[in-house]
Amino acid sequence: MALSGEFDNLIYNTDSYKHCHYPLYPPGTEYISSYIESRGGEYPVTMFVGLQAFLREYLMRPITLEDIDYAEHAIREQGMHFNRENWLGILNDHGGYLPVEIEAVAEGTVLPARNVLVQLTNTDPKYYWATSFFETALLRAVWYPTTVGTISWLAKQIIRTALDRTSDHPELLRHMLHDYGARGVSSQQSAALGGLAHLVNFSQSDTTPGIIGAKKYYNAVAPSNSGPNSEHASFTAWGRDHEVDALRNMLNVHRDKGVVLLLTDTYDHENCVKNIIGGDLREEIRNFPGMVAARPDSGDPVQVTADTTQWLMDAFGFETNSKGFKVLPPCIRVVQGDGITFESLRSILTEMERRGFSAENVLFGMGGGLLQHCDRDTMNFGQKANAVRINGEWRDIAKTPTGAGFKVSKAGRLALVKVDGEYQTVRRDSVSPEENLLKPVFRNGHLLKKWDFTELIANSEAEVPESYYNEVIAPMLTTSEQTEEERALTGVSA
- Segment 376-386, tens digit of pLDDT: 999 999 999 99
Residue 297 known to bind ligand: yes
Look at residue 478 in the predicted model and tell me its pLDDT: 78
295 is in an annotated binding site: yes
For 389-403, what is the mean pLDDT?
Answer: 93
CB 484 within 8 A of CB 134: no
Query: Is 368 assigned a ligand-binding role in the annotation?
Result: yes
Q: Is 446 annotated as contributing to ligand binding?
A: no
127 or 483: whose pLDDT is higher? Answer: 127
Residue 470 gets the label, from left (phi > 0), alpha (psi -120 to 50) or beta, of alpha
Please report the pLDDT score of residue 494 as a whole number.
44
pLDDT, tens digit, 9 for 90 and up, residues 305-327: 999 999 999 999 999 999 999 99
Query: Is 183 labeled as ligand-binding?
Result: yes
The answer to whether the CB of 433 falls within 8 A of the CB of 427 is no
pLDDT, tens digit, 9 for 90 and up, residues 234-285: 999 999 999 999 999 999 999 999 999 999 999 999 999 999 999 999 999 9
- In the chain, the percentage of residues whose pLDDT exceeds 70 is 96
Side-chain half-sphere CA neighbours of 119 within 13 A: 24
Question: Looking at residues 166-193, what average pLDDT do you find?
Answer: 96
Phi then psi dihedrals of residue 429, to 5 deg:
-80, 0
Decide if pLDDT at 56 tops 80. yes
pLDDT at 14 over 80: yes
What confidence tier does 486 reach under pLDDT thresholds 50, 70, 90? low
Position 201 scores a pLDDT of 98
pLDDT one-digit tens code per residue, 133-145: 999 999 999 999 9
**In the predicted model, is pLDDT for residue 415 greater than 50?**
yes
In this predicted structure, the answer to whether residue 209 has a pLDDT above a threshold of 70 is: yes
168-371 in CATH: which number? 3.20.20.70
Dihedral angle sign, alpha carbons of residues 339, 345, 229, 277: negative
Strands in 287-407 per DSSP E: 291-295, 319-320, 326-327, 332-336, 362-366, 381-390, 393-396
Q: How confident is the model at residue 482 (pLDDT cuts 50, 70, 90)?
A: low
Confidence at residue 1, expressed as pLDDT on a 0 to 100 scale: 36
Q: Establish whether 289 is an annotated binding residue.
A: no
Digit-coded pLDDT (tens) for 69-111: 999 999 999 999 999 999 999 999 999 999 999 999 999 999 9
List beta partners, residue 446: 443
- pLDDT value at residue 4: 63
**In the predicted model, is pLDDT for residue 2 greater than 50?**
no
Per the annotation, does 165 bind a ligand?
no
Torsion over CA of 418, 424, 427 and 431, rounded to 10 degrees? -10
CB 231 within 8 A of CB 186: no
232 appears as a binding residue in the annotation: yes
